[in-house]
Structure 1
Amino acid sequence: MSVVAEPRLALLGGGFSTDDDGLLDDWLLGHVRAPRPKVCFLPTASGDAPAYAEQFHAAYDARACEPSVLPLFRRDRDDAALRAFLLAQDVIYVGGGNTANLLAVWRVHGVDRILRAAYERGTLLCGISAGANCWAEGSHTDSFGPLTHLSDGLGLLPGSVCPHYDSEPGRRPSYREAVASGALPPGWAVEDGAAAVFTDGRLTEAVTRTPQAGLHRVEPDGDGGAVEQAHPCRLLDGARRPAPPV
């Protein structure tokens, strides 16, 4: 009798598209049992930008995996082939870009339903920025220009997600306000450099490639505001530690 892995997804605050040390990419692959995992990159949120796909291949071709890129703006698979291809992956990695556009394109092609099936089978779903936002019930996004809330995610992760929590002006106060007002449900704020794995919706690991980056839980405080709680993050081996005092 085969054992089906628990459903897992990862929120990434970095990786091949932003970092030069490869720590989060190596950490991500360390969560896959297959000796040579199949890793599929979906650059949908960037409009299938060729340079983004090239970045992915440059980072993953040299790793012990079978990398591939799935474009949807010039689709070459029918529904059955698309489903078979995605369900055969060990990791599905979603790139950054426009969260609202990403979700709309996926729904037109039925990719949202396939990803849910892949998740339930144990494929590790992950992504950065829009690729982190998409898995939750709602997210904090600049898909429409100004920072705002989007209550329209896939709902595989309960609550909401906010990427770039520490690096983009206005992210922190805007997300806290959205949670405080009820525009977004309580959720997870990811700083650039941090990452987290959720198993069946529960946080099971949080890591960081820099001592400064972290993961925060943001919830209403019951008095019209919001409160955030920092979760401990393990500093990845090889990360740059602060210089000792002189």
Structure 2
Amino acid sequence: MAAIRERRLALLGGGFSTDDDGLLDDWVLGQVRAPRPKVCFVPTASGDAPDYVGQFHAAFQARACEAAVLHLFRRELDDDALRAFLLGQDVIYVGGGNTANLLAVWRAHSVDRLLREAFDHGVLLCGISAGANCWAEGSLTDSFGPLTHLSDGLALLSGSVCPHYDSEPGRRSSYRAAVARGALPAGWAVEDGVGALFTDGRLTDSVTRTPQARLYRVEPDGEGGAEEYAQSCRLLVPTAAAPPVARP
């Protein structure tokens, strides 16, 4: 009988592109049992920005893992090689940028289908900002300029997501309003510094690199508004083995 594979994904409120301590990236790698995990960075939402790719290499080549990047704006792999590449990863780490553009490019290359297959095969999916939005049914996004709702995610996580809940003006009020009026389903608001792990659709771990950062469950209150419920988060602490993040 084939082993049952857990379907896991993580929403990140930080990582190598924003933090110097590497705590959230180490937490992500700690979810993988392989002694030297294969980690693929997907920078589609930024248009495969070279500086962003450089940050990833600087951060992950210093760790005990095999770091790779999936470029779609200058794609080199055919369909079979692309499938084998993505299903061969232990972690697929999606960067920030424009959520709507990300989803459109993925669908043009059938990456959305391949990511769903990788998810079903036990590959850990994670990401920050647009890379967190994409996994849910819907999200709050600035893909079109002003903040608005986007009901066009991959739906690997039920409900909706709002990143940068505490750090970008208008995020908190806009997300609560979208959930209250039903433009977005109930979901998860991620403050900067937080990591949230979902296993088979259930929240199974939530962590923070700063004592004040929180993860919230946001739901309609039944009276035309929305209520948020803070989730308990473990505080991540540095270890002597954690390498500093080098900035290119």
Under a length normalisation based on structure 2, what TM-score does the superposition of the two structures give? 0.95
> Could you tell me which residue of structure 2 aligns to residue 170 of structure 1?
170
Tell which has more relative contact order, 1 or 2 (C-alpha 8 A, sep 6+): 2
1:88 aligns with 2:88: yes
Match of 1:226 in 2: 226
Hey, what does 2:30 align to over in structure 1?
30
Secondary structure at the aligned position of 1:197 is classed as strand
2:189 matched residue in structure 1: 189
Encode CA deviations 1:113-160: one digit per residue, 9 max, x unaligned.
000000001000000000000000000000000000000000000000
Unaligned runs of 5+ in 2: 240-248
SS in 2 for 1:85: helix
Report the equivalent of 1:238. Answer: 238
Q: CA deviation at 1:2?
A: 4.8
Give the share of equivalent positions with the same residue, in percent: 79
Report the Cα distance in structure 2 between the residues aligned to 1:26 and 1:77, rounded to whole angstroms: 29
Alignment-derived partner of residue 243 in structure 1 = none
Q: Distance in 2 between matches of 1:39 and 1:238?
A: 21
Letter paired with 2:92:
I
Structure 1, unpaired ranges of 5+: 240-246
> What is residue 205 of structure 1 aligned with on the other side?
205
Query: Which secondary structure does the structure 2 equivalent of 1:218 belong to?
Result: strand
Number of residue pairs aligned between Structure 1 and Structure 2 = 239
- 1:50 is aligned to 50
Q: Within 2, Cα distance between the matches of 1:207 and 1:7?
A: 19
- Post-superposition, which runs of at least 4 consecutive aligned residues in structure 1 deviate over 2 A? 1-5
2: CA distance between counterparts of 1:121 and 1:70?
19
Secondary structure of 2:39 counterpart = strand
Q: In 2, are the aligned partners of 1:4 and 1:121 still within 8 Å (CA)?
A: no
| In structure 1, distance between residues paired with 2:197 and 2:98 | 22
Deviations 1:9-29 (A, max 9, x none): 000000000000000011110
Q: CA deviation at 1:3?
A: 2.2
Q: Provide the C-alpha distance between the structure 2 equivalents of 1:181 and 1:106, rounded to a whole number of angstroms.
A: 29
Pairwise CA RMSD of aligned residues?
0.9
Q: Does 1:102 align with 2:102?
A: yes
Structure 2 CA distance for aligned equivalents of residues 192 and 10 of structure 1: 14
**Partner Cα distance (2:173, 2:62) in 1:** 40
1:65 counterpart = 2:52? no
